[in-house]
Chains A and B, each alone.
Chain A
């Protein structure tokens, strides 16, 4: 297999004694969709915060496209090609949908001449073209999720970190988001996906990493992971009995 696009190697994050991420290593192959799952508080969002440089690591290394990125400034990591969609959608509320998405394109990797194309493309892909002039704060949750994705897509990322893009959505809306993610992947964007909706994440992912209490407890193809007793124990809370 090729060298992974993203390599998280022995990464640890401590907040004053609390270990949020504990010696986690994972490789995300280029062109794949990888799922990152685990119970609440497992360290998934913390890991995203570490990858995007929002928080400094306590130990370990993060490599992206052959470059070591831990310790780099957040905006430079974004420039290198990592885009992030937030768990709680964070559009710029006062700006229009169009300006939100354009913001992604302007500061992404599209290049000055392709800003318009990147913006239009992202709006079309997420089905937001008709809402372009609406202020972001007037959107429903479902459309906010799309906007969150659209802005990230407009950045023309190499790697998209999607943090629960389906949270709070009904099954139909979830299907639509999954469809968008597949299309994004088909355009060559690698995706690391945190998602609680098991059906969604199992159906879309090529590979799954499972975190529990800050540590990686399992990794593999969706079907393998679903059978893994440690994973079942982590989710169902059954203690030693399962292992």
Chain B
């Protein structure tokens, strides 16, 4: 029987030991993805870039949605807020270099997301289940609307973001690597959360919040911390995404389909796991961009239908579907 201690380094070490296989797999995937621009066509590199963004966003969403069971229907609020705060800061002043502008923008955008999440966390995280989901939907709508209608925020005019890629590097390749790093960092943070005391606490909140409190889990603090963490990660990804676009309007970063996709990926892959959102994002991106990409008229319809079928076949996600089969398999070899 594997037994974990309770110190953070102890739990991390234990978590790494217990997940050696997964970590090896993640590192292998990282190498494969890092070499992708060498063997993939530019189109497929763009697909891979979309996969990285989608998977990382879904992981960031999952910290609160998957682990603690608080489903946000409005995480695009943080993509939009991060992107616009960064954009306004980067273009509002003259910076000596694009890299410095980006660093300051990234910091400001992340801080804005942390502030917003911290401010709304206390009232909004008292709402449970569907009420929290709807409240977040409202937050995203309000924020998008404000950004759009107040001229100073340039939501309608749009912002041209500074080009970060050095002259010698193809911008597409540059943003691919930037997103690869961001996705890897997001996954690593997700892993640290999962195997730590915080991760256990979030699970107990998902399972039964009242019982968790009586066990001594500081449920309020954990929910707020995780909400802020999730918001910051989402914001950072939004900022990188915005730079990869080069030009943003409120409509291009406050997008309900972003919010929904994060949920769909996590749901499809397996709620409450880390690999789930990655698998879900992988399947959906390949499906929509490659398999169905040519069927322009019908592809939304087919995507929806496939989603329904997948969810009906595997209501607990791909991970929940495959896990018992793998367990039986291993049992058979013993």
Contacts and interface: CB of A to CB of B under 8 A. Distances in A.
Interface of A: 52, 54, 73-75, 78-79, 83-84, 86, 90, 92-95, 98-99, 102-108, 110-116, 119-120, 129, 132, 151, 155
Interface string B195-222: 0010011011001101101111111000
B35 interface: no
Contacts of A114: 6
Contacts of A93: 207
Contacts of A111: 6
B210 A113 contact: no
9 contacts: A52-B214, A83-B214, A92-B208, A102-B4, A103-B215, A107-B200, A115-B4, A116-B3, A151-B215
A115 B216 CA distance: 14
B1 interface: yes
B207 A75 contact: no
B298 interface: no
B213 A90 contact: no
B216 to A, nearest CB: 3
A108 B216 contact: yes
B210 A107 contact: no
Contact of B6 (A75, A86, A110): A110
Nearest to A93: B207
Contact of B207 (A92, A107, A116, A155): A92
Among all A-B residue pairs, the 9 with the closest Cβ atoms: A112-B6, A78-B216, A115-B6, A92-B207, A116-B3, A107-B216, A112-B7, A74-B213, A90-B211
A70 to B, nearest CB: 15
A84 B208 CA distance: 14
A132 B216 contact: no
B3 A119 contact: yes
A119 B14 CA distance: 15
Contact of B214 (A84, A102, A106, A129): A84
B138 interface: no
B246 interface: no
Interface residues of B, number: 23
Contact of B5 (A98, A104, A116): A116
Nearest to A132: B1
B10 interface: yes
B203 A95 contact: yes
Contacts of B204: 92, 103, 107
Contacts, number: 85
Contacts of B216: 75, 78-79, 107-108, 155
Nearest to A110: B6
Contact of A113 (B7, B203, B214): B7
A78 B201 CA distance: 14
Contacts of B197: 106-107
Interface of B: 1, 3-7, 10, 197, 200-201, 203-204, 207-208, 210-211, 213-219
Q: Which of A83, A95, A98, A103 has the most CB of B within 10 A?
A: A103
Contact of A112 (B1, B3, B5): B5
Contacts of A73: 213
Given A54-B213, A106-B6, A107-B204, 15 more contacts: A54-B214, A92-B207, A92-B211, A98-B1, A102-B4, A106-B200, A106-B201, A107-B197, A110-B6, A112-B5, A113-B10, A115-B4, A116-B3, A116-B5, A132-B1
A129 B211 CA distance: 23
A56 B260 CA distance: 39
Q: Which of A75, A93, A113 has the most CB of B within 10 A?
A: A75
Contacts of A103: 200, 203-204, 215, 217
A107 B4 contact: no
A107 B10 contact: no
A107 B215 contact: yes
Given A75-B218, A95-B203, A86 B213 contact: no
Contacts of B213: 54, 73-75, 78
Q: Which of B4, B203, B216 has the most CB of A within 10 A?
A: B216
A110 B10 CA distance: 15
Contacts of B217: 75, 103, 107
Contact of A155 (B1, B4, B215): B215
A107 B217 CA distance: 6
A86 B201 CA distance: 19
B256 to A, nearest CB: 30
Contacts of A74: 213-214
Q: Which of A54, A105, A115 has the most CB of B within 10 A?
A: A115
A86 B211 contact: yes
A78 B1 contact: no
B48 to A, nearest CB: 33
Contacts of B7: 112-113
Given A54-B214, A92-B208, A92-B211, A75 B4 contact: no
A94 B271 CA distance: 12
B6 A105 contact: yes
